[in-house]
């Protein structure tokens, strides 16, 4: 079975939804389909929750009314029959009424996550209604019935596998199984999500537990480009990359993929294909476990990074110093992205600053601490084995006119990362494209 995930733009209008249904059914083969919310909806829901938390109920209601009108218009064009239109309209009315009732409640993290879940619930109900109207043998499998996270908000793959297998057995054979991306139930039984962009993660988790033939991520661009098209002109699609390369690019900011979605596909060895709903014939990008030794593949950037340097005269030859530093981050549940060391100190980066103050308090007990905020990791991915010498020099040469705060090389065979200030991000991405891709 193939998994097909469609992002926000791909289900962004009734016309696009109809295109999606055509793409899903044209082969006549069985498909497991994962849908995002219609584009813009999750952002609107974030705004609504934010306004409620600030007690700005009028603005929350304005956004809500705007959204409700937009969906009412979509229903007019999506369906041919009043019967199906009414069923879906009733469902959406229930969701919008519930959202309205939230405006009279105090905001809590649990309520906020429940608000954010509404976009995927609505888009999937709209599409399943259309499929039924078209006579397609499709069944809606609610994500809340199988998608669960456990400790540290990580997906609980064992539970997902067991629950999904049981559901599929109970449902029996259908041409299309449809579910919501992004949303899940957490270890406390509350509604939660897999973080923004999380529908990619849902698709890869389903693909991994079902040992799918392929996971297709359908979006609004023809595959992974060699640099971020939002900041660099004339970027080009990369036709093939390995799981490791894709994982590094996703983790270090390539928005086309959720930061950790590649991991389950990689461990289950299920190929992932990035495809373009706006140009379905385009070859896109294939991600699998094959590697090609052809130098630099692509560049990505991750914003809002904080760099921390700890300097200690006691570090020289002091065993356990690094362990104590890492322990501080572990105790505060904060993961580290880049690390470099010298004889007297260590520099590292984090992107989650929730516990920055207590981390700094603890680090000051170990040495002198310097903090630089608003930094950006630029990650250059490709065949970076030591034998392929010269690429690291090319990267540094491209950036020689501006300050580089950190360099990481050798942590894997696939990447060299540099830390620059966020102000230099676009410049750095453009320089690297010019020097590395000509």
The three-class DSSP label of residue 371 is strand
Query: Using the rule CB under 6 A, which residue among 51, 182, 243, 251 binds ligand ASP?
Result: 182
Any contact of residue 83 with ligand ADP (CB under 6 A)?
no
* Given 22, 211, 230, 314, the residue binding ligand ADP (CB under 6 A): 230
- Which among ligand ADP, Mg ion, ligand ASP, none contacts residue 198 (Cβ within 5 to 8 A by kind)? ligand ASP
* C-beta of residue 336 within 8 angstroms of C-beta of residue 348: yes
Q: Binding to ligand ADP by residue 196, rule CB under 6 A?
A: no
* Residue 413 binds to ligand ADP (criterion: CB under 6 A): no
Residues between 94 and 133 that touch ligand ADP (CB under 6 A): none
Residues 6+ positions from 90 with CB-CB distance below 8 Å: none
- Residue 405's nearest CA partner among 360, 357, 340, 345 is 340
Stretch that binds Mg ion, among 1-9, 27-35, 61-69, 329-337 (CB under 5 A): 1-9
Choices 195-203, 350-358, 417-425, 429-437; region in contact with ligand ASP by CB under 6 A = 195-203
Out of 221, 246, 366, 379, the residue judged to bind ligand ADP by CB under 6 A = 221
Residue 332 sits at φ, ψ, to 5 deg, of -100, 20
Residue pair 348/253 in contact by the 8 Å Cβ criterion = no
225 interface partner picked from ligand ASP, ligand ADP, Mg ion, none, CB below 5 to 8 A per type: ligand ADP
12 is a contact residue toward ligand ASP (CB under 6 A): no
Per CB under 5 A, 197 contacts Mg ion:
yes
Query: Would you state the structure tokens that stand for residue 38, as one six-digit string?
Result: 């219609």
Pairwise CA distance, residues 278 & 287, whole Å: 20
- Provide the minimum distance between the beta carbon of 301 and ligand ADP in the complex, in angstroms, as a whole number: 9
β-bridge mates for residue 237, sequence order: 225
CB of 388 to ligand ASP, least distance (A): 35
Tell me, rounded to whole angstroms, the distance of Cα 234 from its chain centroid: 24
Taking the CB of residue 239, how many other CB atoms lie within 10 A of it? 12
Q: Closest distance between ligand ASP and the C-beta of residue 47, in Å?
A: 12
Binding mask 66-105 for ligand ASP (x = CB under 6 A): ----------------------------------------
**Sign of the Cα pseudo-torsion (198, 201, 202, 203, in order):** positive
Q: Is 241 in the site for ligand ADP (CB under 6 A)?
A: no
The interface mask with ligand ASP, positions 18-57, x = CB under 6 A, is ------------------xx----x---------------
Q: Give the Å distances, CA to CA, from 251 to 71, 299, 303, 348.
A: 33, 12, 11, 16
Q: Is 12 in the site for Mg ion (CB under 5 A)?
A: no
Contact region with ligand ADP (CB under 6 A), list: 6-14, 71-79, 89-97, 262-270: 6-14
Asked if residue 8 binds ligand ADP (CB under 6 A), the reply is yes
CB 143 within 8 A of CB 181: yes
Q: How many Å apart are CA 73 and CA 82, to the nearest integer? A: 14
Beta bridge partners of 419: 377, 406
DSSP string, 122-191: HHHHHHHHHHHHTT--EEE--GGGT-BB-GGG-B-HHHHHHHHHHHHHHH---SEEEEESSEEE-TTS-E
Query: Does residue number 228 form part of the binding site for ligand ADP (CB under 6 A)?
Result: yes
Confirm or reject binding of residue 284 to ligand ASP (CB under 6 A): no
What does the alpha-carbon distance between residue 269 and residue 266 come to, in Å, rounded to a whole number?
Answer: 5
Interface with ligand ADP (CB under 6 A): 7-10, 36, 197, 219-221, 224-225, 228-230, 254-256, 298, 300
Interface with Mg ion (CB under 5 A): 7, 197
Interface with ligand ASP (CB under 6 A): 7-8, 36-37, 42, 119, 181-182, 196-199
């Amino acid at each position: 079975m193939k998994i097909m995930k469609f992002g926000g733009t791909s289900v962004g209008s009734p016309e696009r939804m109809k295109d999606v249904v055509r793409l899903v059914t044209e082969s006549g083969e069985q498909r497991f389909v994962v849908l995002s919310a219609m584009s813009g909806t999750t952002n609107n829901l974030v705004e609504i929750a934010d306004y409620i938390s600030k007690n700005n109920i009028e603005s929350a209601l304005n956004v809500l009314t705007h959204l409700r009108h937009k969906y009412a218009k979509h229903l007019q064009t999506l369906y041919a029959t009043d019967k199906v239109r009414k069923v879906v309209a009733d469902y959406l009315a229930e969701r919008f009424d519930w959202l309205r009732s939230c405006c009279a409640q105090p905001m809590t993290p649990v309520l906020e996550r429940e608000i954010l879940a509404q976009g995927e619930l609505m888009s999937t109900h709209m599409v399943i209604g259309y499929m039924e109207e078209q006579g397609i043998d499709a069944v809606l499998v609610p994500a809340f019935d199988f998608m669960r996270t456990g400790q540290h908000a990580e997906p609980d793959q064992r539970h997902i596998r067991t629950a999904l297998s049981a559901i599929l057995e109970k449902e029996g054979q259908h041409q299309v199984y449809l579910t919501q991306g992004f949303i899940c139930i957490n270890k406390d039984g509350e509604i939660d999500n897999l973080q923004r962009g999380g529908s990619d993660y849902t698709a890869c988790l389903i693909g991994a537990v079902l040992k799918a033939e392929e996971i297709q991520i359908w979006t609004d661009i023809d595959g992974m480009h060699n640099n971020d098209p939002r900041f660099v002109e004339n970027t080009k699609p990369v036709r093939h990359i390995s799981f490791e390369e894709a994982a590094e690019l996703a983790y270090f900011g390539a928005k086309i993929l959720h930061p950790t979605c590649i991991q389950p596909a990689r461990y289950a060895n299920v190929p992932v294909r990035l495809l373009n709903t706006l140009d379905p014939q385009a070859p896109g990008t294939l991600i699998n476990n094959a590697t090609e030794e052809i130098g630099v593949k692509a560049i990505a950037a991750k914003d809002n990074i904080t760099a921390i340097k700890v300097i200690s005269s006691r570090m020289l030859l002091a065993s356990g110093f690094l362990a104590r530093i890492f322990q501080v981050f572990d105790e505060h549940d904060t993961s580290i992205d880049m690390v470099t060391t010298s004889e007297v100190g260590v520099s590292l980066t984090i992107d989650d600053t929730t516990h920055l103050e207590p981390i700094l308090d603890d680090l000051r007990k170990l040495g002198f601490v310097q903090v630089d905020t608003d930094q950006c990791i630029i990650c250059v991915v490709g065949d970076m084995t030591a034998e392929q010498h010269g690429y690291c020099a090319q990267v540094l040469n491209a950036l020689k006119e501006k300050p580089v705060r950190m360099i990481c090389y050798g942590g894997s065979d696939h990447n060299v990362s540099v830390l620059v200030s966020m102000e230099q991000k676009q410049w750095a991405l453009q320089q690297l494209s010019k020097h590395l891709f000509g």
